[in-house]
Structure 1
Amino acid sequence: MLYLDLLPNSIRRIQEMDVRVCVIGVGTIGLPLATFLAKVGFQVTGLDIDQKRIDEINSAKVVYEYTDILEDVVLKSKKLHVTIEPKEALDNAEIIFVCVPTPLNIKKEMDNSNLLDVANRISPYLTKGMILIFESSVAIGSTREISKTIESLCNLKFGIDLGLAYCPERYNPTPMKKYTKDVDHTISAKGESFTVDRISRVVGGIDEKSTKITKTIYSQFVKTDVLELSSIETAEATKLLENIFRDVNIALVNELAKIYPKFGLNIYEIINAATSKPFAFMPHYPGAGVGGECIPVDTWYLISQAEKLGMDTKILNSARQINDSMPTHMITLLENELHKHGKELSSAKISILGLCYKKNVPDIRLSPTLSIIEQLKEKKVNFLVCDPVYEKVDSNVQLTPLSNIFNGSDAILFVTDHDIFTTLDFSKIKDEMKTPLIIDGRNFFNAEKLISLGFYYRAIGKP
């Protein structure tokens, strides 16, 4: 009866790990959360609909950045177990986290079908005193909306019988490095590592009690601040702002990356120079596009909601249009450079490096490469795709091993800056290629070195 108990008692029980936890959805977001909750001592049961995923977790065979911790909490302390059965997962649980995907639908609005499925699956097993905490990225008002659906299914009321809060996920698939000035952008920025337990969180509840209980839960494993907000909607809007901020600023530098080379200027030198200003500037970098289920998705969430209210979303729409145009820009650069060297795109063989949307992360959701592939197919271009990070994951895209990707190629289209690509032997690669051309969508390679080896080189944002 955690939510219905006196607040000091609830806080004490959480601090003593005297509550059972259920995490619904143990994918990209839910598994790290469940892992760290179990690590600090909570008894955690995960609930998922993918039996293969469940079996992998229960045998600690999921390969991700917290594998060592997962092995400890699954195989040694046995603090974490995952099931497909809602009744088993919710049995004696008092804290329930919801971490299911909320992608875009064909209208570029939030698809809440996974949240509705959760509501239907768990409602028969909800009991008084539980608290539900949503982490899934959502449009403003979605948490309260889904809570009403749950109320209609279980005859319990949030704020009376059940607690309710929203704490947006801030997970980064590879622990992110705090930015420090790095003149050579072929090397990852160095600095403090932001693991799940070192990322501050924000919490908004349906009432003060829900907010404080939720803050206490996160404070057990988050080593930095957990900020209380005035409402659930404020927390939802905070998450949108975080990702829209990135989307808009990436769009700005992507547009400048098209403009500055026309003046014979290198945008990376300019960004480095601007970074020397000790205040009021945060560096963002151009690239082949913006992918994943966060940055582009959250911008569309707000565009959709704002336009229904009659609001004009010029900046947000422009950001989406610019960032979505970058795969086409990559192909334009490719076509122009091939033409300079007596080749036509229609008769060329292209080697695409990188299918994942982000470096070192085996995830292709909304990857810029998918757009590039579709456009090349429409143009009937002969191409191969290589991604060593993703090649062991099921995919509808036929992947070519790194050892075979360059044979007879007329150009390398470089999209994803995986670390493994730093080991490429370009002396050997040049001998394998028909036309030694590289279009670098991430400013990843050393241009001078490649040119000295006899390559033709062009990067986004450089003349």
Structure 2
Amino acid sequence: MKTNTLEQLDAILIEKLNTKNATIGVVGLGYVGLPLAVEKAKAGFTVIGFDVQEEKVNNVNEGINYIGDVLPADLEALVASGKLKATSDYSFIKDVDAVAICVPTPLDIYKQPNMSYVESSAKAIAANYTKGTLIVLESTTYPGTTEELIKPILESAGMICGEDFFLAYSPERVDPGNKDFNTKNTPKVVGGITESCTKVAAAMYRAVLDGDVHEVSSPAVAEMEKLLENTFRNINVALANEMAILCHKMGIDIWEVIDAAATKPYGFMPFYPGPGLGGHCIPIDPWYLTWKAREYNYHTKLIETAGEINDSMPDFVVQRCAEILNNQGKALNGSKILVLGVAYKKDIDDYRESPVLPILKRLKGSGADWVTVDPFIPVFKLDGEIIKTESLTNDILAQSDLVIIATNHSNLDYEKIVNNSKAILDTRNSVSNYIGDNIYKI
């Protein structure tokens, strides 16, 4: 039976977490939520996953995996043992001792945060949670979300944060396809509304993860920390992309320049150019910060300029296509283009915010006839249309006027690509080990 004092609530929940007797909920069973739910169940907790999409709920309950970073055998075993189940019925929130919110936080057409998924999740929790529950927001967002948006919604149920329930923010740090770091071993940052909130949330993650748990003084610090991580990468990739454009104009190989600079053992970290940024984090997260900065009458000039550079790379790729075809006496209009890769990065099946999508749109707008090959993505959606990817054959290569290597998947046969293509635009330095007059770089 739950008690009324903060000290008792704190001690009871930490004891349940340390002994793995707590039931944990995860709201949102996507790229972040499902791996987290699996790790919590593997750690010995009983886990309930919540999602509004019945297809995901049914897949989980049938032990059918749909996320690349989850081992199908793990999911199947956890479901069969009863340690993990899914539901779209949020009334079961009453049965959990702790719950993590892992729902999307996309941008709208004006590059402003769309918090509707987070807000609806918080309202569903507020309608069902009980005294002594821990709620942790993991979705990437702007500083202030936990305190300004989530806390008032939860307190509308009549309970007080820090007295009747615990609330914290801990940013997800999932890197799809990373072979070295995953949900289990990546260090966690945790910031609670109160010291007790931080302590309880940290106890939950320490009971689940192998990585360190770093406690900070507030949710805002943890929220800003995540944005700093991805803004750092966004800006440095933008620098690499701008250098690539300049090096192309000067006739210098940017990849050789970066390799040379990387020999310095201090003061330099290599970042690489490409066709643009993709994924749900790096191209999106910095815009949360630019939006929030306006509240303080501050203009984030460097961040916005970096975003503009990265957003312009699909245009540069198409411009390079036109230049390469022009050198062969061909126009982009009417040419057959083979695009290798739809995913936003190598060896994953995720094409959220992939720069390949705007490249395809621009090619179509220029009158080019394109097809795609991606061994990880059999079908994808572009402007509402379902498009099937093709198989990589000698014929499809030979019939193409230009091949664009947009995603450098490891299982693509690059020797076959080089030997059978009229012209190749390599946006990822994938065929640097090959020599041929048919190879071009961005």
1:72-151 mapped onto 2 (5 Å cutoff) = 72-75=77-80, 77-88=81-92, 90-151=93-154
The answer to whether 1:222 aligns with 2:213 is no
Percentage of pairs with the same residue = 35
- 1:9 deviates by 4.0
Structure 2 residues without counterparts, runs of 5 or longer: none
How far apart are the structure 1 equivalents of 2:138 and 2:333? 46
Structure 2 residue matching 1:154: 3-state secondary structure: coil
Q: Which residue of 2 aligns with 1:401?
A: 390
The answer to whether 1:299 aligns with 2:303 is no
Alpha carbons of structure 1 residues 277 and 62: separation in structure 2 relative to 1, 3 Å: same
One-letter amino acid of the counterpart of residue 429, structure 2 = N
Q: Which residue of 2 aligns with 1:12?
A: 15
Structure 1 residue matching 2:412: 3-state secondary structure: helix
- 1:407 deviates by 5.3
How far apart are the structure 1 equivalents of 2:178 and 2:84? 22
Q: Which residue of 2 aligns with 1:189?
A: none
1:353-364 mapped onto 2 (5 Å cutoff) = 353-364=340-351
One-letter amino acid of the counterpart of residue 298, structure 2 = M
One-letter amino acid of the counterpart of residue 406, structure 1 = L
The answer to whether 1:173 aligns with 2:160 is no
Kept after mapping to 1: 8 A contact 2:101/2:136:
yes
Kept after mapping to 2: 8 A contact 1:345/1:381:
yes
Deviation digits for residues 126-166 of structure 1, max 9, x if unmatched? 11111100100011111112224423541222122111000
- 1:71 deviates by 2.2
Kept after mapping to 1: 8 A contact 2:125/2:154:
no
Find the partner of 2:28 among 25, 28, 35.
Answer: 25
Q: Which residue of 2 aligns with 1:340?
A: 327
Find the partner of 2:367 among 364, 367, 380.
Answer: 380
How far apart are the structure 2 equivalents of 1:377 and 1:361? 25
- 1:57 deviates by 1.4
Q: Which residue of 2 aligns with 1:441?
A: 427
How far apart are the structure 2 equivalents of 1:382 and 1:400? 14
Alpha carbons of structure 1 residues 244 and 387: separation in structure 2 relative to 1, 3 Å: same
The answer to whether 1:415 aligns with 2:401 is no
Find the partner of 1:429 among 396, 420, 429.
Answer: 420
One-letter amino acid of the counterpart of residue 44, structure 2 = G
Kept after mapping to 2: 8 A contact 1:124/1:153:
no
- 1:380 deviates by 2.0
How far apart are the structure 1 equivalents of 2:239 and 2:275? 14
- 1:48 deviates by 0.4
One-letter amino acid of the counterpart of residue 70, structure 1 = L
One-letter amino acid of the counterpart of residue 123, structure 1 = A
Deviation digits for residues 192-239 of structure 1, max 9, x if unmatched? x11221110110000001101111111122212110001000000000
- 1:60 deviates by 1.9
Q: Which residue of 2 aligns with 1:270?
A: 257
Structure 2 residue matching 1:413: 3-state secondary structure: strand
How far apart are the structure 2 equivalents of 1:259 and 1:139? 33
Kept after mapping to 2: 8 A contact 1:387/1:399:
no
Kept after mapping to 1: 8 A contact 2:127/2:157:
yes
Q: Which residue of 1 aligns with 2:157?
A: 154
How far apart are the structure 1 equivalents of 2:7 and 2:88? 28
Q: Which residue of 1 aligns with 2:440?
A: 458
Structure 2 residue matching 1:12: 3-state secondary structure: helix
Kept after mapping to 2: 8 A contact 1:120/1:153:
no
One-letter amino acid of the counterpart of residue 178, structure 2 = P
Q: Which residue of 1 aligns with 2:220?
A: 233
Structure 1 residues without counterparts, runs of 5 or longer: 177-192, 431-435
How far apart are the structure 1 equivalents of 2:308 and 2:425? 22
What is the aligned-residue RMSD (CA, Å)?
1.9
Kept after mapping to 2: 8 A contact 1:362/1:393:
no
Kept after mapping to 2: 8 A contact 1:119/1:149:
no
One-letter amino acid of the counterpart of residue 442, structure 1 = R
How far apart are the structure 1 equivalents of 2:261 and 2:112? 36
One-letter amino acid of the counterpart of residue 297, structure 2 = G
Please give the TM-score of this superposition, normalised by the length of structure 2.
0.93
Q: Which residue of 2 aligns with 1:248?
A: 235
Kept after mapping to 2: 8 A contact 1:4/1:161:
no
The answer to whether 1:323 aligns with 2:318 is no
Structure 1 residue matching 2:283: 3-state secondary structure: helix
Deviation digits for residues 29-61 of structure 1, max 9, x if unmatched? 000100000001000000001111111112221
Kept after mapping to 1: 8 A contact 2:234/2:306:
yes
Please give the TM-score of this superposition, normalised by the length of structure 1.
0.89
